[in-house]
Amino acid sequence: MRAYNILDSPHRRLNLLTGEWVLVSPQRAQRPWLGQVEKVPAESLPAYDPNCYLCPGNKRAGGAQNPHYTSTFVFDNDFAALLPPASGLPTPAATEPGPNLFVAEAEPGICRVVCFSPRHDLNLPELSQSQVEAVVRTWADQSRDLGERDFISYVQVFENKGALMGASNPHPHSQVWASGHIPNEPAKELRAQSEYFHRHQSCLLCDVLAAETRSSERLVVANPHFTALVPFWAVWPFEVLVLSNRHVAALTDLTPSEVTGLADLLRRVTARYDNLFETSFPYSMGFHQAPGDGQAHSEWHLHAHFYPPLLRSATVRKFMVGYEMLAMPQRDLTPETAAERLRVLSDQHYRAARVGEDAGHNYNL
């Protein structure tokens, strides 16, 4: 009887950050696909679009006029999901006596948009190293500014890239939402990291990073300050976890060298994504940093999640439906295979390679 091999047999893996399981079914990887096929997004965008509400000098959807910005540009979201306490919104009424079947609480906050560049047609891997460093510094500045508000407990930096991930505008931008309570996903990770720290007197993600570095099986790319890997418990086909090599809790803790290292790593990861299927690769990406709730968070380790939907090609995506929605997440492609496919790709963006341009200085793995 042959030994059970998780690389070719169905099994489940535990996500240490959330305490939740993911089903891995590698034997299904070769199944035929007769499902939905997406349209390949247009490759050619203008450097400036007079109809884009994020381009310099244009009028935004809410009526405000953008300045003629030349680097990053930040503004309060014109259609914010969260509003500060001074907005005058009434607090939801208290629940009636008896079982709390219908519970509501006021949720104050601030939502901002961060434009990466005045260029309408360039995403992270196509920006220069210095331009991406400016984006990272802006994220840190916004995290600091919003985190100092007395009604804010958590700052979430995130980017939705591509129409498949709900981006309503192709102009390269991200968002920063600061909320009065710690949201669901960071709250799960806070519990997991706290429990691990109290049980082992060490940082969960520091230990994960050390083990992954020794194995190298799921590593994608690294430099002296940051490491990108496909996590053992990945749900999305080409999911990536970015970890700071030094134990830091937030973007605001990064040194200038670490800002440079993070910018370099983001360019290299996103270039590999685009190179995988030679398309502008969609994803949702976000940083999980320590809550700003006034508590010491020695257990928290700065990290970012990349959740891309593409599965087999630029036109076939992974859907979270049926079993995934009703039972647990499931994947066919193993994290080890996904890591290998990303690892062997070039740091140089495929569009730059076509015209012989250099993609910029990168550290070596």
Q: Which long-range contacts (CB under 8 A, 24 or more apart) does 297-300 make?
A: 297/190, 297/249, 298/197, 298/203, 299/190, 299/193, 299/194, 299/196, 299/197, 299/198, 299/203, 299/204, 300/190, 300/193, 300/249, 300/250
Half-sphere exposure of 72 (CA within 13 A, CB side): 24
Q: Spell out where the chain has E strands.
A: 11-15, 20-24, 73-76, 109-115, 154-161, 173-179, 219-222, 226-229, 240-244, 283-288, 303-307, 310-313, 316-317, 330-331
Q: Which residues pair with 288 in a beta bridge?
A: 303
Residue 79 contacts residue 150 (beta carbons within 8 Å): no
Neighbours of 362 (CB within 10 A): 16
Task: Please give the structure tokens belonging to residue 103.
Answer: 């519970």
Q: Kindly name the residue from 120, 173, 225, 303 that is annotated as catalytic.
A: 173
Residue 173 annotated to the active site: yes
Neighbours of 351 (CB within 10 A): 18
| 221 phi, psi to nearest 5 deg | -160, 155
Which residues carry out catalysis? Answer: 173
